[in-house]
């Protein structure tokens, strides 16, 4: 088989940010302000890399970003003290708490504090419930949305196809599977404790790696001709960004794959601001 097609994220991201910029300009004309995102930042290499991408994307959309540091060892009480003012600020349209979270804080705790109408990460029970019910008004977690945008942009059909998702997080694996089910894919969720994982993953027409282990998925896990979507963001001891997929290993086996860096990451940032506009417009419409 010839070398795999590389599914670059930048063309997809540019298409989304162009749309967001147009919507942002219209929002500013109508409401006399720019949509604003509040980012609660985490001090980790992966988070700082994502924050850099967020700020770069922000400059292309016409939106605004303010940063609030979470601190090294926050308590649920201090977390509430950080997020509550963002909830109450009428000029904040979306709230994002970066990951990976400190051990003292859980996604459930954040989801119980963030205003459900400003939850552009899709982690509140309200937004997750809308997604589960198939509502078009749900704020879909940006990474899950990004994967769907990439598949759509490159016209990779999933209807009636078997999709294997290696990962079950609240912001990637689970919501992505729900979205794919909505397009009539046959979805199997796997994880680090799945027995015979390589045997299962080789059934996939589309394989999504979101397990958080660098270079975990290699040629032993990929069916010839499969499309492989690498959601992993890992940083090694040298500061190099790595995905969950060993790209060199699968290059002659897969039909297509997303690289790291340069694949899902830029599209995730673009989708974050698309969600911000969705949230801002919905809030202003509801008064």
What is the distance of C-alpha 131 from the center of its chain?
Answer: 14
Contacting residues for 129 by C-beta, under 8 A, at least 6 apart: none
pLDDT score for 43: 77
pLDDT score for 224: 97
pLDDT score for 227: 98
Go through 180-219 and write b for each residue having 16 or more CB atoms within 10 A of its CB, e for each that does not: beebebbbbbbeeebeebeebbbebbbbbbbbbebbbbee
CA distance 268 to 142: 5
pLDDT score for 236: 83
Q: What's the first-to-final CA gap in the chain, in angstroms?
A: 57
Q: Are 83 and 95 in contact (CB under 8 A)?
A: yes
Phi then psi dihedrals of residue 175, to 5 deg: -65, -35
One DSSP character per residue, 232-260 reads --EE-TT--EE-SB-HHHHTTT-SEE--T
pLDDT score for 50: 78
Contacting residues for 133 by C-beta, under 8 A, at least 6 apart: none
Contacts of range 29-32, beta carbons closer than 8 Å, 24 or more positions apart: 30/284, 31/284
Paired tokens of 93: 């349209």
pLDDT score for 237: 82
pLDDT score for 287: 64
Paired tokens of 266: 């830029």
Q: Are 272 and 55 in contact (CB under 8 A)?
A: no
Going by C-alpha positions, the residue among 60, 53, 66, 65 that lies closest to residue 19 is 60
pLDDT score for 2: 61
Q: How far is CA 168 from CA 8, 79, 96, 144, 191, in A?
A: 24, 25, 20, 12, 7
Q: Which residues of the chain have pLDDT under 70?
A: 1-2, 46, 72, 287
- Across-strand partners of 68? 40
Q: What domains are there in the chain, each with its CATH number? A: 31-115 (3.40.50.10860), 142-265 (3.40.50.720)
Task: Quick: pLDDT tens for 177-222.
Answer: 999 999 999 999 999 899 999 999 999 999 999 999 999 999 999 9
Contacting residues for 232 by C-beta, under 8 A, at least 6 apart: 209, 210, 211, 212, 213, 214, 216, 242, 243, 244, 245, 260
């Amino acid at each position: 088989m010839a070398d795999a097609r590389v599914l670059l994220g930048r063309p997809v991201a540019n298409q989304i940010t162009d749309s967001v910029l147009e919507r942002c300009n219209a929002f500013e004309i109508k409401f006399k302000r720019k949509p604003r995102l509040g980012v609660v930042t985490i001090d980790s290499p992966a988070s700082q890399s994502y924050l850099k991408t967020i700020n770069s994307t922000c400059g292309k959309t016409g939106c605004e970003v303010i940063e609030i540091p979470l601190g090294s060892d926050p308590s649920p009480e201090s977390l509430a003290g950080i997020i509550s003012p963002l909830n109450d600020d009428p000029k904040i349209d979306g709230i994002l708490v970066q990951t990976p979270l400190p051990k003292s804080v859980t996604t459930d705790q954040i989801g119980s504090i963030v205003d459900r109408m400003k939850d552009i990460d899709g982690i509140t029970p309200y937004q997750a419930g809308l997604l589960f019910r198939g509502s078009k008004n749900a704020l879909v977690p940006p990474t899950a949305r990004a994967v769907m945008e990439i598949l759509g942009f490159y016209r990779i059909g999933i209807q009636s196809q078997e999709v294997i998702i290696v990962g079950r997080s609240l912001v990637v694996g689970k919501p992505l599977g729900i979205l794919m089910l909505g397009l009539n894919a046959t979805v199997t969720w796997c994880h680090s404790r799945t027995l015979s994982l390589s045997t299962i993953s080789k059934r996939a027409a589309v394989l999504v790696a979101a397990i958080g282990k660098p270079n975990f998925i290699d040629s032993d896990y990929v069916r010839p001709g499969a499309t492989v979507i690498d959601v992993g963001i890992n940083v090694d001891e040298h500061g190099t960004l790595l995905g969950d997929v060993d790209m060199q290993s699968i290059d002659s086996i897969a039909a297509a794959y997303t690289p790291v860096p340069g694949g899902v990451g830029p599209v995730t940032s673009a989708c974050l601001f698309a969600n911000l506009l969705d949230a801002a417009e919905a809030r202003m419409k509801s008064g």
